[in-house]
A and B are shown apart, each in its own frame.
Chain A
Amino acid sequence: MPGAIPNPLRSELDRRLPRIAGPSVLVLFGVTGDLARKKLLPAIYDLANRGLLPPGFGLVGFARRDWEDQDFAAQAHEAVREHARTPFREDVWRQLSEGVRFVSGELNDDAAFDELARTVRALDADRGTGGNYAFYLSLPPKLFPTVVKQLKRSNLAESEDGAWRRVIIEKPFGHDLESARELNAVVDDVFPPQSVFRIDHYLGKETVQNIMALRFANTLFEPLWNRNYVDHVQITMAEDIGVGGRAGYYDGIGAARDVIQNHLLQLLALVAMEEPVTFSADSIRTEKQKVLEAVELPEDLATGTARGQYAAGWQGGMYVPGYLEEEGIPANSITETYAALKLGVNSRRWAGVPFYLRTGKRLGRRVTEVALVFQRAPHQVFSSVDVEDLGQNSLVLRIQPDEGVTLRFGSKVPGASMEVRDVTMDFAYGQSFTEASPEAYERLILDVLIGDPPLFPRQEEVELSWQILDPIEEYWAKEGRPEQYEAGTWGPQSGHELLARDGRQWRRP
């Protein structure tokens, strides 16, 4: 039997065998950063520990530090011990760390990149990494052009004999349509579109992938999943923290660009899309793209959007400063820390069903969820007094932190009278499935190394999202200062009015 395609040792029926990445080198830029330490290095170890990395795997760190290989290995070791999700096993770590290298230098330093090229080629020779390289740019996006140009100049971007090159970039993908296109042009110039992996870590979450399972694997929900039954949809991503150490990045960007453009619009796309023809990357992305194209802005941006800025207040038993008092934020900043939008989706399925999106910092608690709120029963046999406590039925997809699904419906209150009140039926991931479910970054890094793209948004989706957001940002820029809201509450008055105007209200998540 010959090797390679199709591999005779693999069979669709053999579901015990996991997908394992092929021999490759992951080159990590920005290894000293927060993301690398808290998420990426631990995720790489967890993958190795689960046996999903190949024996021929190399990890190269690049940073402006005067480090040797072992210094970087020590840093990585510490990050792994502190943040990895699977237990630490010396054998796994030792085997992984044999493939760890470090290259020191500035990003504009030709010599450092030549050294990087030598290092990865040496790994190919010493470790059998097969000439396949993935470049993870965990850097501020303004540095992307420099890195990409360097990769091209040092011939690292080119592959020979069927080896692959992949580049992984983190959000933000620009701050408006134009900058997103510019950024893309820089990367596109050197790497073909199918080699560019844009990370939206939300899409790596089990609960987000479960949206598709819930919708398309069941018969129970899909018949209700349309304008005939759904009154409106609420998508919330709330944080309880303030801007903290991200002041420099956050100011001038704001809540909408930081969260709505990527995470919330991706969630909207997954909730609103039609069933893909197959579960392949292209079919899923095509359906998502159709939804984003069909998104419609409110006619009047003044009444169809809301924004706010947190003011000082008591939150979770602590007094916290307002946004304008945070370190590194100019006292006259007009950046919003809360944003809410009302969007429509122009399709037969959703015409007339508003999608309310909101996100903010220093809100009541940390929670991300999607709620489908159903219409009231068209006719009630029970008297209005009996159903006074009955709200609208709803289906809540809890994305984080308490992952699961909740169904709210009315039930009789025990007793002699026919009183109906809301109860919930609950499915909690943590209880019904693994507490050791993989972290989003594990899944995404593995997908990159395998070359499996469904969970990564393509450039078209990024551009469509900016097309949705840009007019709103322009409108807000003219409006001056956002409304203040007290830290620890559920946002500004205008946010509540956005729904109140339509006779609705936000769920308290």
Chain B
Amino acid sequence: MTLYLPRTTTSQISEALTAERHSVGGGALNMVLTLIVVTDEADHYDAVRAATEAGREHPSRILALIRRDPDAEPAIDAEIRRPGTAGPGEALLLRLYGPLGDHPGSVVTPLLVPDAPVVAWWPGIGPANPSADPVGRLAHRRITDALRAADPVADLLNRIRNYQPGDTDLTWTRLTPWRSLLASTMDQPCGWVNGAEVTAEPRYPSADLLVAWLADQLEVRVERTTSNGPGITGARLVTEQGDINLQRYDGRVATLTRPNQPDQTVALARRRPAEALAEELRRLDADEIYERTAKFMAAMLDRTEEPV
């Protein structure tokens, strides 16, 4: 069931939510978090869908903030999708007109689920300084996606300079399956690692994060080479006993080659937005490894940009 409240106020929205709770029971008390999606008319459909899907794992109150004509009179159009309409969570689509678009905090504050953590997500181009953003300030966790920017690597670097605990970027989340496979190859005895190489399409921040992670954790030099993608196409660990090589050309299935072992294939699908988002929502504390890796990457890229 969807409820439309045109030209409304947050107290009317709250009342509608409470009335709902009294008639059906449960409601916001079962929500484990509030997910604020900062989006626009073009993006909101896919974003809310991904958020709803992630909400199957983490029932949330989704607040989608859609900015409309900044020159109009200030007003809110609300669309409430009740629990059960699309998964266990509820979604509120709030269209903000006029100067209200500059004060989203005032709209969001009364609608946050009591006590539950707040997560902000910018599915499109995110703020350069998420924790200083009016919505980001309210959130415990701030999820951006550098891949959406015109220059993704520069976008990510920019944000890393302003890093605050709780910041995270989906270019890091998308990397988890790669990192997890690479880590598992080193669960077994293997030779001393002397170097590594990461191959990916150009201007792909996940690849630079992978380079940084390997270089930092293994304390070796890591090459970044380019291919036609999609995404990351290979990662290689150069060991004393030969290479451990993970190649994925089709974005779906990878081949693992290592010394004295037969080739192995493994499904390594590129992640859909909902899957990446669900992973982000699983842990809401600061991700120290991300911080470390991101700063390492920034230092590394700064160094290479310096004139010789």
Contacts and interface: CB of A to CB of B under 8 A. Distances in A.
A298 interface: no
Interface stretch (B40-48, B61-69, B92-100, B189-197): B189-197
Contacts of B288: 13
Interface string B288-300: 1100000000000
A22 B187 contact: yes
A91 B267 contact: yes
Interface in A1-47: 1-4, 7-11, 13-18, 20, 22-23
A174 interface: no
B188 A1 contact: no
B88 A431 contact: yes
Interface in B18-36: 26, 30-32
A412 to B, nearest CB: 18
Interface in B267-308: 267, 269, 279, 283, 287-289
B183 A10 contact: yes
Interface string B150-182: 000000000000000000000001001101111
A51 B266 CA distance: 9
Contacts of A7: 183, 186-187
Interface string A83-110: 0000001011011001000000000000
Interface string A468-496: 00000000000000000000000000000
A18 B177 CA distance: 9
A9 B267 contact: no
A451 to B, nearest CB: 12
A428 B88 CA distance: 12
A130 interface: yes
A85 to B, nearest CB: 12
A323 to B, nearest CB: 40
A3 B193 contact: yes
The contact size tier of chain A is: 35 or more
B57 A434 contact: yes
B57 A435 contact: yes
Contacts of B258: 128
A16 B219 contact: no
Nearest to A2: B192
Contacts of A54: 184, 266
A11 B189 contact: no
A145 interface: no
A23 B29 CA distance: 44
B253 interface: yes
Nearest to A124: B262
A1 B194 CA distance: 7
A3 B264 contact: no
A15 B264 CA distance: 26
Interface in B215-271: 217-220, 239, 252-253, 256, 258, 261-262, 264-267, 269
Interface string A219-234: 0000000000000000
B58 interface: yes
Interface of B: 26, 30-32, 56-59, 88, 173, 176-177, 179-184, 186-193, 214, 217-220, 239, 252-253, 256, 258, 261-262, 264-267, 269, 279, 283, 287-289
